[in-house]
Chain A
Amino acid sequence: MRTIFMRAAMARGAGFFGFWLLLIGPNPADLVAGLCAAAAATWTSLRLLPPGGGRLRYAALARLALRFGQESIMGGVDVARRALSVRLPLRPGFVVYPVRLPPGPACNTFGALTSVLPGTLPAGVDHGALLYHCLDVEQPVAVQLAIDEGLLIRALGGTHDDT
C-alpha cells in the first residue's frame, strides 16, 4: 500500500512539474517556484483523490473524449439554435436519472461530462439519483445519458456486467 502511494506521489509530482515547465518555460531562476507549486499540487491531489481503484482503460477513455467533443459541439449548436430562434422553442423541466456509478469522484465526473450534453444540465442529487434540468423534456435524454455512463464505467475499468 505504501509503495503504491509513493509511486503515485512520484508520478503525479513529475506530471505536475512537467506541466509547470510547459506553461512557464525552463528558466533556472524560476525552478524553485515550480518545484514548490508541483509539491503543493501533488499534496492536494493525493488528499482529494487518493491513489487506488481500477486502472484506466485508454481506448475507452479516448472514445469518451471523442464523444465529449462531439457532444459539446452539438450542445452549443442546440442552445444557439434555441436562443436565436424567434419562437424560443423551450420545454424546460426536470428528468430524474437513476445513476449506476457509485457516489464520489466517478459520479462527479459523470456530472461534469454530461453537463455538455445537448439540453441537459445536472442540477443536484435526489435519493441516489441525479436530477437533470432539460431544455426540452421531449428529447431522449435518458438514452443519451445511459450511453455516456456505460462508456465512463468502461473507461474507469468498471466490472459492471450490464454495460
Chain B
Amino acid sequence: MSLVLDIFTIVAVSAGAFFFLAGTVGLLRFPDTLTRLHALTKADNLGLGLVVLGLLPQAQQPFDVIKLIAIWLFALLAGATVGQLMARVARRERPTP
C-alpha cells in the first residue's frame, strides 16, 4: 500500500516538476510579454497543483492535507486573478493591437 502511494507521489511530483520546467522554458523562449504570461500562469499553476497532489499521500496529519489543499486553492485563485491583471498591464505597455 505504502509502495503504491510512494509511486503515486513520484509520478505526480515528477509531472509537476516537468511543468515547472516547461513554464521556465516558456518564460525564457516566448517572443513577447503576453505570450510569456501564458507560459507562466498556465504551466506553473498546473505544476504546483501536481506537486500538491503528489504530496497529499505523504502528509503526516489530516490537518496537513487540508492546509496543502488550501494553499493550492489560494495559489490557483491568486494566479487566475493576477494573470489577467498582469495581461492588462502588459497590453498597455506596448502599442495597442
Contacts and interface: CB of A to CB of B under 8 A. Distances in A.
A and B touch in the complex (CB under 8 A): yes
B22 A121 contact: no
Interface in A20-76: 22-23, 25, 72-73, 75-76
A92 interface: yes
Contact of B26 (A73, A79, A93, A111): A79
Size bracket of the A interface? 20 to 34
Interface stretch (A8-16, A112-120, A138-146): A112-120
Contacts of B46: 72-73, 75-77
A90 B92 CA distance: 21
B43 A79 contact: yes
Interface in A95-119: 111-113, 115-116, 118-119
Interface residues of B, number: 38
Contacts of B90: 123
Interface of B: 18-19, 22-23, 25-26, 29-32, 34-35, 37-39, 41-43, 45-47, 49, 63, 66-67, 70, 76-77, 80-81, 83-84, 87-88, 90-92, 97
Interface of A: 19, 22-23, 25, 72-73, 75-80, 82-84, 88, 90, 92-94, 111-113, 115-116, 118-119, 121-124, 131, 133, 135
